[in-house]
Structures are given as structure tokens and as C-alpha cells.
Amino acid sequence: MNKKLLALAVGAAISAAPMFASAGVKVYGHAQVEIGSVDNGTTDQTVVTDNARGRLGVKASEKLGNGLTALAKFEWKLDTTSGGAATGQRESFVGLKGGFGTVELGNLKSAYKYSGGVKYDPFVATLLEARGRNGMSKGELGNGAFGHNSFLSNSVGYKTPKMGGFSAWATFSPDEAGAGNGADGDYSFGLKFKQKMFEVFVAGINNDDAAGGDAIKIGGQVKFGNFKVSGQYEQLDTSTGDIDIFFLGGQAKFGNNVVVAQFGNKDVDGGNDGDYYTLGFIHNMSKKTRLTAGFSSNESLTTGGSDTDIFAVGMRMKF
């Protein structure tokens, strides 16, 4: 039933796109398919996957006068490989933007997730990504609402305007009656200083449910010519112990091609330590379409642990 309703909503949105454009409404989406060889030491299999990249969204804005703009957005998860709706909804909010900054209310992005993190990994939402593979955190804080694989429900968010290169972003959930993601006074924040050639940031989260915890990370990025270097360090205090995660990535651009090398290290109290290595290639066929290929290794540093090697090729199109 939910898939039928989603199909009807998508069909109506696409058929009405010309009218929407004049009303400040935009329909957009991502489609992606990867073919990967995954060898975890026990099994060696070939997979065809969307890897949680497929999505379809509608966003709207309306000029209200006096420098104010009303905002709204709904974004759904889709699976390009199965042709159906994936489990869960992504961002959805209503908001107001003006000289004071931007206020959003709804199911929101996390300042922790989007400070460095997924912004620094060009292979995010692919088989080669660093998240959950000893390079970046993913789900260590309970349900993951304030980590890297979900959004912040029942929340209020505020983003400052840029002030001489400085910006701040905070999200808070005051809904103590809510269940799961973003409930019981949890929060997320990010502070960033950005110039043309570099940026630095600090971000933190608190997920106060039974399986939750706290996390803080610092990082930055520098650009010089056709090269870019990104790095971050995360320290997580979870219900099962402390976790430290380090990530370093480099990109070299040659025309429409980008060579990517990434490394990560995860140190867990009591074991499950590991390293992450990725060497990959991106060919941008246009601003919206790209091809990817690469090799990634997820190595266990704990006695009795298993390693996973992945070779993957894929295609993504934005619209």
C-alpha cells in the first residue's frame, strides 16, 4: 500500500513539474547501480546494488517579502536495482529563511553527519565508502539517528548566516514523548570556518537513549590546484565503550577524471579494531552523470577477525 501511494505521489509530482517550476517547486532525484565483487574471507560473491543512493525529492520555496523565504522539502528513499521504494524516508521539513539565518522543523539532517563526514568522501553511498568500514562512524550510537545512517526526527534546526567565513548549525529534539530517532532532548551541532582554499570544523552529537552516547569530531580540508586533502578525527563515547576513528582522503583531478585514495583507522575499547583502504577512480561524464571504479579493503586488526576486499564499478545520475 505504501509503495502504491508513493508511486501515485511521484507520478503526480512529475506530471505537474512544469506548473511546479513556476511556483518555486523542484522535483529531483538520484539513480545509481553498482556491480561489486565482495570477498570476506568466507564467501566471495558478486552483488548488484543501489547502496542506499536512490532517492526522489520535492522541494519548494516561496518569497514572503521583507527578506523572508518559506521552505519545504520531502525526500524519499528509492532502490534503483529493485525498482521499488526503500525502507524509510529521508529529509522532510518546513522552514523559514531570512537575514537571521535558517530555521527548519521536521526530520532533519545532522550537523555531525554533514560536517566533514559524508561531505569529505566522494564514494559515500557506494560499496567503496568509509562509513561503517573503519573510516567513519555509522550506527555506533544506538539507532544511528545522530550518527551517519539516519536523520533527526521530531527536531528543530537552526543555521546561522555566513559571517566572515564562520557558520554554525544546531539541531535539537525537545519531543520527550517521541520514540526512537531524535527523542528526549538529543542534540547535534557544528561550527565551521571556511575560506576559498581551506576549511576547519568541530562537530558534536548526543544520543541519550539506552544504547546511545556522545561523540565529537574535528577536521578540515585544504585545496591546492587540482588537489584536495581531507581529514577528520572522531571520538565516540558509547554505552559499550570508547571508539576512536581517524580518516584521511586525497583527491587529484585531471580534466573530467578524479583519482581518489583514502585511509581510515578504528580503535575500539575491547577489540574490533581495523583499517580501511580505498583506491578509486571517478569519471565525470557531465555535471550530473558519473562512472566510478575502485578497490577497497576493510582489514581487521583483532585476533580472529575477518578482512573484506571489494572491487566495484558503478554509474550514478542526478536529475
pLDDT single digits (tens) 254-276: 999 999 999 999 999 877 899 99
Segment 163-215, tens digit of pLDDT: 999 999 999 887 644 554 444 567 889 999 999 999 999 999 887 665 667 89
Q: What is the pTM of this model?
A: 0.86
* Spans of the chain below 50 pLDDT: 1-3, 5-6, 8, 16-22, 176-177, 180-183
| Nearest alpha-carbon partner for 313 in 290, 286, 294, 298 | 294
Those residues with Cβ within 8 angstroms of residue 297's Cβ, 6 or more apart along the chain or in another chain: 275, 276, 277, 278, 307, 308, 309, 310
Question: SS3 for 152?
Answer: strand
Would you kindly state where each structural domain of the chain is located, as residue ranges?
31-38+48-318
Q: Bridge-partner residues for 60, per DSSP?
A: 25, 72
Radius of gyration of the chain (CA): 20
CATH architecture of 31-38+48-318: Beta Barrel (2.40)
pLDDT of residue 303: 61
How far is 116 from 221, CA to CA, in rounded Å?
A: 8
Q: What is the distance between the alpha carbons of residues 219 and 200, in angstroms, rounded to a whole number?
A: 6
- Phi, then psi, of 31 in degrees rounded to 5: -130, 135
pLDDT digits (tens, 9 = 90+) for 284-293: 999 999 999 9
User: What pLDDT does residue 116 have?
Assistant: 94
What's the CA gap between 229 and 261, in Å, rounded? 10
Burial of 63 (0-12, 13-18, 19+ CB in 10 A): exposed
Read off φ and ψ for residue 173, nearest 5 degrees: -115, 105
The burial of 221, by beta-carbon neighbours within 10 Å (0-12 exposed, 13-18 middle, 19 or more buried), is given as buried
Q: Supply the pLDDT for residue 52.
A: 86
